[in-house]
A and B are shown apart, each in its own frame.
Chain A
Amino acid sequence: MQTKNNQQTGAFGEEVVAQYLSGLHAEVIERNWRIREGEIDIIALYPSGVFAFVEVKTRSSVAFGHPFEAINREKAHRLQRLALGWLATHGCLGCEYQIDVAAVLIAPDGSHSIEYRTGVL
């Protein structure tokens, strides 16, 4: 069960990543797109016409490992299925797309850092 605090942390991380994507001139199309199989944190469209499906992991400490280590192979493949689901329901099947992951680390003093990897599958 997510605690309220964790939800806030997650929402903060997603906001940070959305701003980061805007900085790259990518258009954030949708946030927290949710169907029964799961949720996509951010869906964005790059200026090059490529859709990006972004999984955001936010952590306030690395005590439980690096955020990226929380994304295992199974989870990555679920992201892929969700991405295809979104493309299908929006009539974009066949468009170029990629799966991105972002790690947001929040330091105790409130400052944060972002690590962004594109096309991880």
Chain B
Amino acid sequence: MSLALTKSIALLGLDGHVVTVEVDIADGLPAYVLLGLPDAALSESRDRVRAAIVNCGEKWPNRKVTVSLSPAWLPKSGSSFDLAICIALLSAHETIPPELISEIVFLGELSLDGRIRSVRGVLPALIAAQKAGIKTAVVPRANFQEAQLMQGIEIIGMDHVREVLRWLRTGDRVQADEIDFLWQPVDDVLDFADVAGQPQARLAAEIAATGGHHILLIGPPGTGKTMIAERIPTILPQLTISQALEVTAVHSIAGSFAQRSPTSLIAPIVSPHHTTTRVAMVGGGAHVIKPGACSLAHNGVLFIDEAPECPSGVLDSLRQPLEAGTITIARSIGNVTFPAQFLLVLAANPCPCGKFSGRGRNCTCTSQQVRRYLGRLSGPLMDRIDMRVHVDPVGRVDMARSELGESSAEIRARVIAARKISSARFSEYNWELNSQIPSRALRTIFQPKKEAMNFLHDELDKEHITARGLHKIIRVSWTLADIHGHDIPTLADVVQAHELRGGIEL
């Protein structure tokens, strides 16, 4: 028999498609034809597969080899088909029984000596395989930990083509250490105890973590804006398993496990540099659509330092994912939707020189420069920011104090308790966090106490706040009520929420 087929997975964003890899060996002059819209990396598979086969001591068929990846209309990319092509080819060459491999998914890139290298997107690929009813999958051992997150499918981690061949021919294989897999709980490298002083910003971070409110930190350089932002994941509740799977799937597509373990339960934090492009922020790419920073921060924190320095448009590209919680990228090869539910934390200096705080005595900027600087943050974006908090320089009293501030563990305990209250309150609705309460509900069921509303309506009359701002304040006040243990927001909660929002009028 000179025809064999096996399975692999093509990924388009997070969606996997099962691809049948067929290899036909026909009489004729030695040739290798690859069908099924391969990209450059995939076309190069011919030389990798050939070298790997020869270097494993197998024979390369000096005949006409036709490899077809079907469905043929689906554009395929990357090196993850190498292993499937290699195995199907050897089977078509009658060295492996073809019936063994026809229902197995093979993923992996081959090195020239036959070792199996890691590939991107193993977890989403396996999710697709399981949906298609595949029972067994062979993955690179380097991706084994990530692959094991997938339940209900037999995962076999392999290091070398020879190992795969021995298994297919004799049935024995090295049983991998499958116990190795454990969800990793929160580490304690970063801790809020490190932050000196800054009671206002600490409170704002706690509120942000509790209610999912987006936040802007404004302050001169060196006051701890970045420190605070980096520590927000340490006070967010641990991810649930399904949330962690979503995060791992996105990171798997991006191939970014150098920064983050696939089995981590810590909320991710992504801090793109302020020179980042729109594509890097929201995702994109012509042949392979990769998730951007906002998707990598899914279920976690997107922290943008020096936000006013961002090119215009980059921050505004976040407006749509902020509303929808997902981002859809349309390219010629197809539409791809990535999840993008993140907590946005922006940090900014108060002015170009950074010293316009307190009495602003050291600031060298003109008043117009100061006004323009924060004006670069567009109105529609600022409107989605619930809290604008000034982070003032730390005084000698705070720095000299020897006892540390509150630790992340203590704050997290409060965050979890407060979230429990709010999720119980919203049990019959389709939202979970205070920041997600729709405005209609704010005017009816979820209205604060009467005197609190009177205060807000007065502010509205004085044109100190807008109608939209009023809703934002009420949402934050609900979070404050949860933290303080009030059933509904009191006047004090609303005033505090108003102060947190009103840090600066933009």
List the B side residues contacting A7 at CB < 8 Å. none
| A61 within 8 A of partner (CB) | no
Which of the candidate stretches A43-51, A65-73, A87-95 sits at the interface with the other chain?
A65-73
Q: How far is the CA of A101 from the CA of B28 in the complex (A)?
A: 8
Number of interface residues of B (CB under 8 A): 6
| A118 within 8 A of partner (CB) | yes
Kindly supply a per-residue 1/0 record for chain B positions 415-438, scoring 1 wherever the CB is within 8 Å of any chain A CB and 0 otherwise. Answer: 000000000000000000000000
| A120 within 8 A of partner (CB) | yes
Q: How far is the CA of A2 from the CA of B334 in the complex (A)?
A: 56
Kindly supply a per-residue 1/0 record for chain B positions 241-257, scoring 1 wherever the CB is within 8 Å of any chain A CB and 0 otherwise. Answer: 00000000000000000
Contact indicator B62/A120 (Cβ below 8 Å): no
Q: How far is the CA of A120 from the CA of B26 in the complex (A)?
A: 10
Q: How far is the CB of B235 from chain A (nearest CB, A)?
A: 65
| A76 within 8 A of partner (CB) | yes
Closest to A67 in B: B62
Closest to A55 in B: B29
List the B side residues contacting A72 at CB < 8 Å. 29
| A117 within 8 A of partner (CB) | yes
Kindly supply a per-residue 1/0 record for chain B positions 19-42, scoring 1 wherever the CB is within 8 Å of any chain A CB and 0 otherwise. Answer: 000000001111100000000000
Closest to A117 in B: B27
List the A side residues contacting B27 at CB < 8 Å. 117-120
List the B side residues contacting A119 at CB < 8 Å. 27-28
Q: How far is the CB of B22 from chain A (nearest CB, A)?
A: 22
Closest to B31 in A: A73
Contact indicator B28/A69 (Cβ below 8 Å): no
Q: How far is the CB of B29 from chain A (nearest CB, A)?
A: 5
Contact indicator B28/A117 (Cβ below 8 Å): yes
List the B side residues contacting A120 at CB < 8 Å. 27-29
Contact residues, A64-85 vs B (CB, 8 A) = 66, 68-69, 71-73, 76
Closest to A75 in B: B29
Closest to B28 in A: A120
List the A side residues contacting B62 at CB < 8 Å. 66, 68-69
List the B side residues contacting A101 at CB < 8 Å. 29
List the B side residues contacting A68 at CB < 8 Å. 29-30, 62
Q: How far is the CA of A48 from the CA of B264 in the complex (A)?
A: 71
List the B side residues contacting A71 at CB < 8 Å. 29
Q: How far is the CA of A79 from the CA of B27 in the complex (A)?
A: 18
Q: How far is the CA of A62 from the CA of B62 in the complex (A)?
A: 12
Q: How far is the CB of A23 from chain B (nearest CB, A)?
A: 19
Q: How far is the CA of A72 from the CA of B29 in the complex (A)?
A: 8
Q: How far is the CA of A119 from the CA of B27 in the complex (A)?
A: 8
List the A side residues contacting B31 at CB < 8 Å. 73
Q: How far is the CB of A8 from chain B (nearest CB, A)?
A: 25
Q: How far is the CA of A121 from the CA of B26 in the complex (A)?
A: 12
Q: How far is the CA of A101 from the CA of B30 in the complex (A)?
A: 11
Q: How far is the CA of A71 from the CA of B27 in the complex (A)?
A: 14
Q: How far is the CB of B59 from chain A (nearest CB, A)?
A: 10
Closest to A103 in B: B62
Q: How far is the CB of A5 from chain B (nearest CB, A)?
A: 25
Q: How far is the CB of B100 from chain A (nearest CB, A)?
A: 29
Q: How far is the CA of A7 from the CA of B62 in the complex (A)?
A: 25
Q: How far is the CA of A101 from the CA of B29 in the complex (A)?
A: 8
Q: How far is the CA of A120 from the CA of B27 in the complex (A)?
A: 7
Q: How far is the CA of A119 from the CA of B29 in the complex (A)?
A: 9
List the A side residues contacting B30 at CB < 8 Å. 66, 68-69
List the B side residues contacting A118 at CB < 8 Å. 27
Closest to B60 in A: A66
Contact residues, B130-169 vs A (CB, 8 A) = none
List the A side residues contacting B29 at CB < 8 Å. 68, 71-73, 76, 101, 117, 120-121
Q: Which residues of B approach A to under 8 Å, CB–CB?
A: 27-31, 62
Provide 24 A-B residue pairs closer than 8 Å at the C-beta atoms, listed in order of the A residue: A66-B30, A66-B62, A68-B29, A68-B30, A68-B62, A69-B30, A69-B62, A71-B29, A72-B29, A73-B29, A73-B31, A76-B29, A101-B29, A117-B27, A117-B28, A117-B29, A118-B27, A119-B27, A119-B28, A120-B27, A120-B28, A120-B29, A121-B28, A121-B29
Q: Which residues of A approach B to under 8 Å, CB–CB?
A: 66, 68-69, 71-73, 76, 101, 117-121
- Beyond A73-B29, A101-B29, 7 extra complex contacts between A and B, CB < 8 Å: A68-B62, A69-B30, A69-B62, A117-B27, A119-B28, A120-B29, A121-B29
